[in-house]
Amino acid sequence: ETGVTQTPRHLVMGMTNKKSLKCEQHLGHNAMYWYKQSAKKPLELMFVYNFKEQTENNSVPSRFSPECPNSSHLFLHLHTLQPEDSALYLCASSQQTGYTDTQYFGPGTRLTVL
């Protein structure tokens, strides 16, 4: 276990549904991240939060809405998704957002959009 948990582990949703992914870290870290991993593509950074403030948004469509209520919790709210949004969504945390910091990943949520 890396100290980062994600729920649910699997999610199937229709294009009109609204759902949320949850991430929790028990490491006392200050930075949290959302990544998208699609088959045969590099890991894509979506959002970065540092001390609860969003510091990066890598041109992610507005149908993905992140929320970071505190340094330990991170949510990704989903609405009106497209089938191409089907992927493994990974959450990670690190002590800071500095480039020397190791990131600790959760097990991911496998999302399927029908």
Partner 1 sequence: SQQGEEDPQALSIQEGENATMNCSYKTSINNLQWYRQNSGRGLVHLILIRSNEREKHSGRLRVTLDTSKKSSSLLITASRAADTASYFCATDEPRQLTFGSGTQLTVLP
Task: Kindly indicate which of the ranges 14-22, 66-74, 76-84, 101-109 contains the residues binding partner 1, using the contact rule CB under 8 A.
Answer: 101-109
Distance CA 15, CA 68 (A): 24
**Residue entry with tokens 């500095």:** 98
Residue 51 φ/ψ region, left for φ over 0, alpha for ψ in the -120 to 50 degree band, beta for the rest: left
Closest CB to partner 1 among residues 64, 104 = 104
18-25 sheet: strands from edge to edge? 4-7, 18-25, 73-79, 64-70
Task: Kindly indicate which of the ranges 1-9, 11-19, 60-68, 72-80 contains the residues binding partner 1, using the contact rule CB under 8 A.
Answer: 1-9
Among 92, 93, 111, 113, binds partner 1 (CB under 8 A): 92
| DSSP result, 35-71 | EEE-TTS--EEEEEEETTEEEEE-S--TTEEEEEEET
- CB of 97: closest distance to partner 1 in angstroms? 8
Task: Kindly indicate which of the ranges 13-21, 63-71, 72-80, 92-100 contains the residues binding partner 1, using the contact rule CB under 8 A.
Answer: 92-100
Residue ranges that bind partner 1, judged by CB under 8 A: 2, 4, 6, 40-43, 45, 48, 56, 88, 90, 92, 97, 99-100, 102-108, 110
